[in-house]
Amino acid sequence: MREIKPHAQPNGMLDKAVYYTLNQWDSLVYYLKNGAVNIDNNAAERQIRPFAIGRKNWLFMGSPDGAKAGAILYSLIETAKLNNVNPEGYLKFLLEHFIDPDADEKSLENLMPWNAKIPDEYPKPSLTIEENTS
């Protein structure tokens, strides 16, 4: 790439491509050496899409406390999805098993989607989240 750059027309498409490649060289080498690294961030983009879409709705949360409650709700929903737990069933489970706001950390940990013992009568996930394997 360094050998090609001097021969590329300044500000031409090849020059821009070589410049981009050289700027990303360390990341490219890291990707090639570590097979567990995804080549793109599509999984992360999919996770934040609901927030981007809901951005205008947040203007109508009414107050900072309402915005905080909304953030907590979105966090619970996305955490449930990531743990292959149906968000609707999980929220129903949480609401029906109200917890003391002064509960200790252990009690809260037991209600997290990865630990919660959600009974069979609650809705199950209708689909699973697939990771990007490309």
Model pLDDT for residues 17-50, shown as the tens digit of each residue:
999 999 999 998 999 999 888 888 888 888 778 7
Q: Quick one: tokens of 123?
A: 């809705």
Amino acid identity at 125: P
SS3 (DSSP) at 39: coil
Q: Quick one: tokens of 10?
A: 């300044």
In contact, 82 and 129? CB cutoff 8 Å: yes
Share of the chain above pLDDT 70, in %: 82
Average pLDDT (54-61) is: 68
Range of lowest pLDDT (53-57, 61-65, 77-81): 53-57
- Say how far apart CA 78 and CA 29 lie, in whole Å: 32
Question: pLDDT tens across 68-90, in order?
Answer: 888 888 888 888 888 888 888 88
User: What is the per-residue DSSP string for 27-53?
Assistant: HHHHHHH-TTS-SS-HHHHHHHHHHHH
